[in-house]
Amino acid sequence: MENKTLVVYFAQRGNDIKGHCPKIAAKAADCLRKKGIEAETFAITPAETYPEDFNEMEMAVKAELASHARPELTSKHSGMKLVKDIVLVVPNWWNALPPAVNTFLDGYDFNEKRIIPIVSHGGDGGKDIECELRKLLPKTRVMPVVEISDKDTDDCDEKVARAIDELLTNN
């Protein structure tokens, strides 16, 4: 294993909800670069577009969550075997991972990898997401969740930097 670092983020199609995850992922990748670590980024993008109307999108997502759907993604990451550390930037969707993120997680072997989850949320935090990740990936080192409120996305540089420092000091 070459011990590469990968910044993975959820990129919703359709009702974008201001693109919190891509913004946070860009901050994480920039922070890693400033520390001398070249990190590739990868977007988890569902093949199907979510409805533009928020209420319709909410109904679609809740139906996916209830049925434990694994929506198709637009692409796969080809170099996952070389990755050791993953910064996973995801939203808290009704106290769960977006189903497309579960599709991504199902598609690779995460044994002996390390994940630092950064969760964008509207007020519910990220502890449920951390627990879900630990349950889904029992042989993966899941670091404590970093919670970033949607309203703080533009001003989260310090919080992201602390998360990256934690990742680097806990090798």
Burial group, residue 28, by CB count within 10 angstroms (0-12, 13-18, 19+): buried
Mean pLDDT of 47-60: 89
Name residues whose C-beta falls within 8 Å of residue 78's C-beta, 6 or more positions apart in sequence: none
Tokens 């879900």 belong to 132
Q: Does domain 4-169 have CATH number 3.40.50.360?
A: yes
What residue ranges do the domains of the chain occupy? 4-169
CA angle 34, 17, 30 (to 5 degrees): 5
Rounded CA-CA distance 68/153 in Å is: 29
Secondary structure tally for the chain: helices H, strands E: 5, 6
Q: For the segment 83-118, what is each residue's pLDDT rounded down to a tens digit?
A: 999 999 999 998 999 999 999 999 999 998 999 999
The per-residue pLDDT for range 120-164, each reduced to its tens digit, is: 988 888 889 999 999 999 999 999 999 998 888 788 888 888 888
| 51 and 15 Cβ atoms separated by less than 8 Å | yes
| Cα–Cα distance measured from residue 137 to residue 121, given in angstroms and rounded to the nearest whole number | 22
Q: pLDDT confidence of 1, banded at 50, 70, 90?
A: very low
**Neighbouring C-alpha atoms within 13 Å toward the C-beta of 165:** 6
